[in-house]
Amino acid sequence: MNSDLDQVFERLARSSFRRRFRLRPAEREYLERKGLDAVMLHGEKFIDERLAPADPANDGKQTPMRNHPIFVAQHGTATCCRGCLEKWHGIPKGRPLTSDEKAYILSVLRRWLIAHGGA
């Protein structure tokens, strides 16, 4: 799966839109203060509530652009909505996310936060 992630991150690196996402000082401080494991628990909750349903509320607009490290990471990794999940990660819309897909999304977010947040 790491090689799959390597390929995804290579594609993301070629996107000028995805590359522009960076943690602001307040988000970085939050990550440092809470720790990566706690922030990832928040991410798990956000995925369950905002992405996992077959037809999430406000899909395409459900993930804020800032104010939490997970939100920034979601935009930086194209895991912010079901459309981006389908386009960038091959996870189809219109059905609930599986446990494996949720775990995959969390692994993508963790990798991004480690690379960009210094966690």
What are the pLDDT digits (tens) for 52-95?
999 998 888 888 888 899 999 999 999 999 999 999 999 999 99
> Dihedral sign, CA of 88, 92, 94, 100?
negative
The overall average pLDDT reported for the chain is 92
pLDDT value, residue 119:
56
pLDDT value, residue 66:
82
pLDDT value, residue 1:
41
